[in-house]
Amino acid sequence: MYPELAVRELIVNALIHQDFTITGTGPTIEIFENRMEITNPGIPLIQVERFLDSPPRSRNEALASLMRRMGICEERGSGIDKVVAETEEYQLPAPLIRLYEEHLKVSLFAHKSLNDMTREEKIQATYMHACLKYVEQDAMSNQTLRERFGLIDTKNSVASRIIKEALTEGKIKAIDPNTSTRYMKYIPHWA
């Protein structure tokens, strides 16, 4: 149900980025009927919303280096990019990354049709798609979002509504707000 590469990257990241100074806890993997949750102790060293574009920064570099040499994880800093790309390819809802007082939890969700996704899930997927396109030196458009959600070309109004909601929530912004709607391109709000 979940892309192997995405699962591997998230588990390895939980191991590599855990804070060993927090006692009584460790990485946890929970599998439910509709989701998989991977939790690790420690607050990330970079902002959660910037996981896709920030230069890599590892809390436990010796462990990270060993796992890269063993071929267990990908090169530095590209793991979460691969997770988002894989969830898009499998047409899954975007991963949800939540920060708690001393822990980070990443949830992967089972397949849902676009109609079954909540408003928040659609906005999160749109934001993550814009981040991924930005990292790829590209920009999100109505067409790329339709492709992300597996929508046919005649469903451009559906993609337009989702884009409008993501704009309203401040998750994305237009590169050039004066461009015709048909040619509009979008980037994450922080870009």
How large is the average pLDDT for residues 159-169? 97
pLDDT computed for residue 143 by the predictor: 96
* Residue percentage of the chain with pLDDT more than 90: 71
Among 36, 53, 54, smallest CA distance to 45 is for: 54
The pTM of the whole model exceeds 0.85 = yes
Compute the distance between CA of residue 49 and CA of residue 101 in angstroms, rounded to an integer.
17
Contacts with 166 (C-beta within 8 Å, 6 or more apart), sequence order: 123, 126, 127, 130, 172, 186
pLDDT computed for residue 175 by the predictor: 96
Among 95, 97, 96, smallest CA distance to 87 is for: 95
pLDDT computed for residue 75 by the predictor: 62
Residue 63's alpha-carbon distances to 23, 68, 73, in angstroms, are 19, 9, 11
> How do residues 64-122 score in pLDDT, each as one tens digit?
888 888 877 766 657 788 899 999 999 999 999 999 999 999 999 999 999 999 999 99
User: Please, what is the average pLDDT of the chain?
Assistant: 91
